[in-house]
């Protein structure tokens, strides 16, 4: 049955999320966003994070048996839209707990799940943070998009060598959220994607390692000073002979599959974050258009171009919301195996949101450019992130869909029939090997 009606439980969830966002989060957003020191800005959100933890938002996606909320992906989106409409950077902090800890649910061992998920869901301080540590610094080679490249010299370059029952980690990661923690001494736990086999490429050479807070040899450089999403912390991390017990590894040789699945699960959440930001811009522009006359006698909504533009913005927001809901419903049906639809909802939600915020600025006109009096400076800085974070739309998300479409097994009717489109390792790696002009 296709039914877009919210149940009474979903309406209640939406209401709790909306009240949290308006009453707890909103009062701190402006100051935290304006704070020039990114770490100080991150620390300013801690009381709101603790409240979010208490309300269950920080770990709602983890299974109930470990103390998590066990919410469906659809319910998660209903709450996420309300929070990201007020601040997507804060939403990102919550999202990253899922990116880091859900791989344990899908690929981890039961002892690891019991230990780390139970700790994450039952923190008496209500401030537990998990780091999802994949991305690497720019360089040649460097970067992240080609994690599934067949050469061991390309893709993920942080290494972990097994010596005497311990993995020894070396290298540098750049961008991961929350990993430095509230005090720059580390998140409570980080899940780090590393190369455990120096002879193998991205498919087969990568694994995940659980690195607890306080592990010697991990150092944190000053946080990245981002244009937007400033309530989120982006880290620069160095690993210098960091030793962790062998039992902390999981998905051995399957780190590529973890990256593909985690950045698929997050797709609809990032998509709805775009919807949240676009919704805020739209509601502001609509109200402006109904009250501002631009020197004429009537509000500008009575100019046809203004009406048409706002109509298009409203339509695009609805379309992006329902694609995210569909991708989430599909994830609920197939244990988060929503690779294509998850990626589509992330791409569409973020890119649509960018256009919507800009169109709202055009509707409001020159006054939208006034930072002090109107919210568009922050909305624009925040929205610019969507196409390039959470696995960039070009090098990672579109490439993932392309790999599936190109595979002989792909059935284009799968989405309309709501059937499982199986994702296999054969679909990874497409487009990662290039033919440079003049190369032998």
Ligand X SMILES: Cc1cc2nc3c(=O)[nH]c(=O)nc-3n(C[C@H](O)[C@H](O)[C@H](O)COP(=O)(O)OP(=O)(O)OC[C@H]3O[C@@H](n4cnc5c(N)ncnc54)[C@H](O)[C@@H]3O)c2cc1C
Q: How far apart are the C-alpha atoms of 142 and 45, rounded to whole Å?
A: 32
Whether 415 contacts 408, CB under 8 Å: no
Q: State the nearest-atom distance from the C-beta of 146 to ligand X, in Å.
A: 5
383 binds ligand X (CB under 6 A): no
Query: In the complex with ligand X, which residue's Cβ is closer, 139 or 296?
Result: 139
Using Cβ positions, the residue closest to ligand X within the complex turns out to be 392
Helix H or strand E encompassing 274: helix 255-291
Helix H or strand E encompassing 353: helix 339-364
For the segment 161-220, give every residue that binds ligand X (CB under 6 A). 175-177
Residue count at the site for ligand X (CB under 6 A)? 30
User: What is the phi/psi pair of residue 62, to 5°?
Assistant: -85, 155
Single out the residue of 152, 392, 403, 429 in contact with ligand X (rule: CB under 6 A): 392
- Which of the stretches 108-116, 225-233, 339-347, 410-418 binds ligand X when contact is defined by CB under 6 A? 225-233
132 binds ligand X (CB under 6 A): yes
Length of the chain: 440
For the segment 304-333, give every residue that binds ligand X (CB under 6 A). none
3-state class percentages of the chain: helix first, strand second, coil last, to nearest 5: 50, 10, 40
- Which of 230, 226, 228, 269 minimizes the C-alpha distance to 357? 228
Single out the residue of 145, 168, 252, 420 in contact with ligand X (rule: CB under 6 A): 145
Q: Which tokens is 280 given?
A: 């805020």
- Residue 181's SS3 state is coil
**β-strand pairing of 130-133 with 189-195:** parallel
388 binds ligand X (CB under 6 A): yes
382 binds ligand X (CB under 6 A): no
395 binds ligand X (CB under 6 A): yes
- Which of 239, 238, 187, 178 minimizes the C-alpha distance to 38? 178
- Which of the stretches 18-26, 56-64, 141-149, 366-374 binds ligand X when contact is defined by CB under 6 A? 141-149
Q: How far apart are the C-alpha atoms of 376 and 277, rounded to whole Å?
A: 10
Single out the residue of 32, 80, 92, 401 in contact with ligand X (rule: CB under 6 A): 92
Query: In the complex with ligand X, which residue's Cβ is closer, 25 or 133?
Result: 133
Residues that bind ligand X (CB under 6 A): 92, 96, 99, 132-135, 143-146, 175-177, 226, 229, 232, 234, 385, 388-392, 394-396, 399, 431-432
């Amino acid at each position: 049955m296709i039914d877009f009606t919210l149940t009474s439980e979903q309406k209640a969830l939406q209401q709790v999320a909306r009240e949290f966002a308006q009453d707890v989060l909103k009062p701190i957003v402006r100051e935290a966003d304006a704070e020039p020191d990114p770490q100080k800005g991150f620390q300013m959100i801690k009381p709101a994070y603790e409240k979010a933890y208490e309300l269950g938002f920080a770990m709602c996606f983890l299974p109930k048996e470990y103390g998590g909320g066990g919410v469906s992906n659809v319910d998660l989106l209903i709450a996420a839209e309300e929070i990201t409409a007020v601040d997507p950077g804060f939403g990102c902090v919550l999202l990253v707990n899922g990116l880091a800890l859900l791989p344990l649910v899908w690929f981890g061992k039961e002892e690891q799940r019991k230990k780390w998920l139970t700790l994450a869901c039952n923190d008496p301080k209500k401030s537990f943070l998990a780091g999802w540590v994949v991305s690497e610094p720019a360089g040649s080679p460097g970067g992240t998009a080609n994690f599934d490249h067949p050469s061991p010299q390309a893709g993920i370059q942080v290494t972990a060598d097994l010596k005497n029952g311990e993995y020894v980690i070396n290298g540098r990661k750049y961008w991961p959220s929350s990993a430095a923690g509230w005090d720059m001494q580390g998140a409570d736990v980080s899940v780090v994607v590393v190369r455990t086999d120096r002879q193998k490429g991205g498919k087969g050479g990568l694994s995940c390692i659980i690195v607890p807070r306080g592990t010697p040899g991990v150092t944190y450089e000053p946080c990245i000073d981002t244009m937007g999403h400033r309530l989120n912390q982006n880290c620069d991390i160095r690993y210098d002979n960091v030793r962790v017990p062998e039992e902390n590894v999981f998905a051995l040789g399957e780190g590529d599959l973890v990256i593909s699945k985690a950045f698929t699960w997050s797709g609809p959440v990032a998509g709805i974050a775009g919807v949240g930001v676009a919704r805020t811009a739209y509601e502001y522009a609509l109200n402006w258009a109904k009250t501002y006359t631009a020197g004429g006698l009537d509000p500008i909504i009575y100019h046809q171009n203004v009406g048409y533009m706002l109509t298009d913005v409203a339509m695009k927001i609805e379309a992006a919301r329902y694609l995210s809901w569909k991708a989430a419903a599909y994830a609920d049906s197939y244990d988060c195996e929503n690779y294509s639809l998850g990626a589509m909802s992330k791409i569409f939600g973020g890119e649509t949101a960018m256009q919507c915020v800009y169109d709202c600025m055009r509707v409001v006109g020159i006054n939208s450019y006034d930072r002090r009096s109107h919210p568009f400076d922050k909305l624009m800085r925040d929205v610019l992130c969507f196409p390039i974070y959470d696995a960039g739309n070009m090098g990672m998300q579109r490439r993932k869909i392309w790999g599936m479409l190109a595979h002989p097994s792909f059935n284009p009717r799968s989405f309309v029939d709501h059937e499982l489109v199986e994702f296999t390792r054969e679909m990874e790696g497409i487009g990662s090997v290039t033919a440079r002009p003049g190369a032998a």
